[in-house]
Amino acid sequence: MITVEEALSRVLALAHPTAAEEVALADALDRVLAEPIRARLSQPPFNAAAMDGYALRTADLADDLTVIGEAAAGAPWTGRPTPRSTVRIFTGAPVPDGYDHVVMQEDVAREGETIRVTQPQKNSNIRMEGSDFKRNSDFDPQRPLTPRDLGLIAAMNHDRVRVHRRPRVAVLAGGDELVAPGTPLKPGQIVCSNDIAIAAMARRAGAEARCLPIAADDADSLLARFSEAQGADLIVTIGGASVGDHDLIGAVTERLGMERAFYKVAMRPGKPLIAGRIGSSAMLGLPGNPVSSIVCAELFMRPLLRAMQGLAADQKLRRAILGRDIAAEGKRQHYLRARLSVEDGEEVVTPFDSQDSARLGLLAQADALMVRPAGDPARYRGDQVSFLPLS
């Protein structure tokens, strides 16, 4: 069995970045830029007043000044300053050349067309041209675009952007016992829950995901479903990955000519994970136990989908204090479902008593996966441990 680290590097090697496509900026939320955005102008495009008040020369601050014009946002003043003059100015207006200071109107006494500065301040109240960003500067945030990013790109004067095409994901759950949610169960049947969760995780990672109809535990049914998945950048199967007589994913993917990257990872939950390439599709075969499939999707599918959009993995282990004593670990790296809390201002991570990989109810209550390396000795309340936050 290979380590989680090795498995992740082999999964990432399966990723081909998707091609670029152009979309309206308004539709680009959560998309990933395929190339940097180059600012088409400097921001501000001119020296701009930051306050409503009067534009003047710093050298004239102590004098009586004559108001010789008015400048507003969108209505610049185009005259030339004369000695001991000032221009009434409003926030956002270009500061006329020749003036280097804007005094807030609250700090000025005005009589007719004459003003006197009553409270001189050091701050010039001018936003200098290009002080936010310069024309031709590049913006390449290396993350799914946030609302703030969209605002910045608009300010750079772009209304369309080139982004990575969303990876196409086909999710295939298999098992004779499975029926769709909402169906009355016959004896021995189980509600199929994993494909819904995995497809939602894929969408949250930027993919276009569809669930194929549930496959039966026979090779023909699985082969038919795989043919429906053609054109997907990633095929994710759920279940049938283990060693039982009905676990057919290994055999069927072999028949389809899969180049296998690995089978089985030294992790808990999720040992019987399979990965590889079938034609132009990457393939991840997740274990059927609901928690195992979701943990494997978090650890492998999400980074793979990010890589397909040109992004690095974003799994950064965090440190916290352990909330209870726990026994020594076995031979597999363990991802324990855990709750986060704050005690005396410090973050505390407390793993649940049960770590059964079928318990979706507990997983839904979890805020974190506490990570324990294989062979980790017993740990005690108050020890420093590592965890991955869950969203």
Ligand X SMILES: Nc1nc2c(c(=O)[nH]1)N[C@H]1C(S)=C(S)[C@@H](COP(=O)(O)OP(=O)(O)OC[C@H]3O[C@@H](n4cnc5c(N)ncnc54)[C@H](O)[C@@H]3O)O[C@H]1N2
Count the neighbouring beta carbons within 10 Å of the beta carbon of residue 47.
21
The span from the CA of 154 to the CA of 147, in Å, is 11
Shortest gap between Cβ of 371 and ligand X (angstroms)?
Answer: 18
Q: Say which residue the tokens 């095929």 belong to.
A: 235
Q: Please name which of 118, 123, 51 lies closest in space to residue 88, comparing C-alpha atoms.
A: 51
335 DSSP 8-state letter: E
Q: Among all residues, whose Cβ is closest to ligand X?
A: 288
Q: Please name which of 284, 29, 230 lies closest in space to residue 146, comparing C-alpha atoms.
A: 29
Measured from the CB atom, is 74 or 244 closer to ligand X?
244
**Cα 228 from chain centre:** 29
Q: Does 285 bind ligand MOO (CB under 6 A)?
A: no
- Which listed residue (271, 277, 302, 332) binds ligand X by CB under 6 A? 271
- Which listed residue (247, 261, 309, 385) binds ligand X by CB under 6 A? 247
Q: Does 372 bind ligand MOO (CB under 6 A)?
A: no
- Which listed residue (91, 121, 221, 242) binds ligand X by CB under 6 A? 242
Peptide bond preceding 36: is omega within 30 degrees of 0, i.e. cis? no
- Which listed residue (2, 20, 179, 190) binds ligand X by CB under 6 A? 190
Distances from the Cα of 293 to the Cαs of 13, 176, 358, in angstroms?
Answer: 21, 18, 10
Q: Does 194 bind ligand MOO (CB under 6 A)?
A: no
Stretch that binds ligand MOO, among 19-27, 262-270, 306-314, 319-327 (CB under 6 A): 262-270
Shortest gap between Cβ of 240 and ligand X (angstroms)?
Answer: 5
Q: Does 30 bind ligand X (CB under 6 A)?
A: no
Q: Does 303 bind ligand X (CB under 6 A)?
A: no
Q: Does 289 bind ligand MOO (CB under 6 A)?
A: yes
Q: Does 180 bind ligand X (CB under 6 A)?
A: no
**Beta strands of 57-140 (E only): which ranges?**
65-71, 85-89, 101-104, 108-111, 114-117, 126-127, 138-139
Stretch that binds ligand MOO, among 79-87, 91-99, 163-171, 269-277 (CB under 6 A): 269-277
List binders of ligand X among 156-175 (CB under 6 A). 173, 175
Distances from the Cα of 351 to the Cαs of 167, 319, 326, 334, 390, in angstroms?
Answer: 34, 14, 9, 11, 13
Q: Does 167 bind ligand MOO (CB under 6 A)?
A: no
Given a contact cutoff of 8 angstroms between Cβ atoms, the answer to whether 288 and 353 are in contact is no
- Which listed residue (192, 209, 301, 366) binds ligand X by CB under 6 A? 192
**Site of interaction with ligand MOO (CB under 6 A):** 268-271, 287, 289, 292, 357
Instruction: Report the interface residues with ligand X, using CB under 6 A.
Output: 173, 175, 177-178, 190, 192-195, 238-244, 247, 269, 271-272, 287-290, 292, 357
